[in-house]
Structure 1
């Protein structure tokens, strides 16, 4: 009983910290609340949600969000496994290489976006433009011609160290005797990877996918700093669409409805992934 009383203040504080914003979002999603007319807060039910999902930008935003999620997760998992296998082998300077691999994860999203926008993808003085010119090709204006792909590259570059770190840690517990026995039995490198290494990485891969799925739903800084959701709506995701409704259109009600949609979408994805991970962990 005493333990519960001691825990009560922390639990109540955490509960209020989580529930108050959610309740306010629910309230704003069912009223007409525009910052240009702050005095009007009429109850309108599901009209805000209907307006949000019937917005012409809604379909492309959901598609871009799913494409961004799938692409970044695929890139980080595949390259993360390959880099982890490479760095796991002993070689001179391995510690320095590991630090360099992990470093991009600690770069703030806005700094990451500015770095890629000005240093790497600028069509005049960017590194990629210089490489293109070196080979006699015309530099590409990445943020204009391929906006969503550019955002995917930026986000994947930042999340790749996270996946790589998880996989490196997991490979440390791989049974070396089992690998050596498979080598002695004549299994080649590809067979050892497919039948021993990949099953061993099953749980870490599932964890990486779940964590990235949840966090990548709210990618915003890279889009805001580089493409602004454009050209048109080619790089607009659900998070940026909510921003446009809230601050560009001053419509708090519709933005709150969009936030609820994002919460529902994130929870559906999380529930699916938790079940998937649960099955994986039971094996």
Structure 2
């Protein structure tokens, strides 16, 4: 090998290229099956959803069949419920993001300070993230927000105030509260890790220069957390677009369509109205929406990482 490299660099380059190609060829049979399974896992459901969205397929009337073209999409975008559900989806996602990012940032700064019982407090703060969505919705519906048996109702009566039927009077706010309670620990975990990676010498230097706690937070801590906040926003947004269990257990999309988001609208079309074609069209719209949002969020985070 040494003789070939010294005498003929071209021959050495050819030999290195052949070795590299050999390594690539040897790795391909190992990753090929996993990549194939992954592609089938993703492409087959997507292709079936696209196919059904172009068909007339209603389970209540099996005689109505055939190619529908874009009729399902046309009916979907002209349906007022679709725009209401899209608005509810944006309200739900935006409200939960504001609550979890602001609350997670403040809690991360708080839990970074030493105090008695710090470890136990962190454990209790993170625990809601490990509660299943259905269980969390049942806890809030029956144990916390129930006007007669709930904790909030008992507190209201203790102060001489009438109990509030939260899911009837403030349905969207109730769903936002439940989902925020579930996702706040996630934001806290990410942001607390970022706060702990902050250089303490920088904070000490700012303190010696006379910077107060607020100045340190806005000029040092918050800029340091910008990348972590971007990651929290991206991950939460992708999952919050598909919120379903909390709505199904608590309000079933009501009263009326006050809490019907895009995911629940697709469920109602498919399993309550038996319109498989219309539900598939809604599913394709949801897929496009999620991918557009993910694309812009990933680009934003990539720019922040390059800085």
TM-score (norm 1): 0.98
**Counterpart check, 1:100 vs 2:124:** yes
**Cα RMSD, aligned residues only:** 0.9
2:270 aligned partner: 246
Deviations 1:102-127 (A, max 9, x none): 11001000001000000110011111
How far does residue 38 in structure 1 lie from its aligned partner after superposition? Answer: 3.6
Post-superposition Cα deviations, 1:160-213, rounded to whole Å, max 9, x if no partner, equal 000000011111110000000000000011110011100110011000000011
Q: Which residue of 2 aligns with 1:15?
A: 39
The Cα shift of 1:36 comes to: 2.1
Instruction: Decide whether aligned partners of structure 1 residues 39 and 7 sit closer, same or farther in structure 2, where only a CA change above 3 A counts.
Output: farther
Q: Who is 1:66 aligned against?
A: 90
Query: What is the deviation of 1:40?
Result: 4.2
The answer for unaligned runs of 5 or more in structure 2 is 1-24
Q: 2:191 and 2:211 mapped to 1: Cα distance?
A: 22
Larger Rg: 2
The superposition leaves residues 76-135 of structure 1 with CA deviations (integer Å, 9 ceiling, x where unpaired) of: 000001111111111121111111111100100000100000011001111111111111
Moved more, 90-99 or 258-267: 90-99
Shift of 1:56: 2.1
Which residues in structure 2 correspond to 1:183-202 (within 5 Å)? 183-202=207-226
Aligned 1:1-283 pairs, distance under 5 A: 1-38=25-62, 40-283=64-307
Q: Give 3-state SS (helix, strand or coil) of 2:80's partner.
A: coil
Name the CA distance, whole Å, in 2 between partners of 1:11 and 1:177: 47
TM-score (norm 2): 0.91
Q: For residues 69 and 76 of structure 2, what CA distance do their matches in structure 1 show?
A: 13
Aligned counterparts of 2:205 and 2:295: Cα–Cα separation in 1: 39
Find the aligned partners of 2:299 and 2:31 in 1 and give their Cα distance. 30
Q: Distance in 1 between matches of 2:146 and 2:279?
A: 33
Superposed displacement of residue 39, structure 1: 5.5
Alpha-carbon deviation of 1:59? 1.3
Aligned length: 283
Aligned equivalents of 1:150 and 1:53: distance in 2?
Answer: 28
SS at match of 2:42: helix
Q: 1:171 & 1:52 partners in 2: Cα distance? A: 45
Partner Cα separation in structure 2 for residue 251 and residue 268 of structure 1: 26
**Offset at residue 137 of structure 1 (A):** 1.0
Q: Which moved more, 1:23-32 or 1:263-272?
A: 263-272
Aligned-residue offset at 1:272: 1.4
- The runs of at least 4 aligned residues of structure 1 exceeding 4 Å deviation read none
After superposition, what is the alpha-carbon deviation per residue over 1:23-61, rounded to whole angstroms, capped at 9, x for unaligned?
000000000011123454300101011111212211110
- Output the CA distance in 2 between the equivalents of 1:148 and 1:90: 37
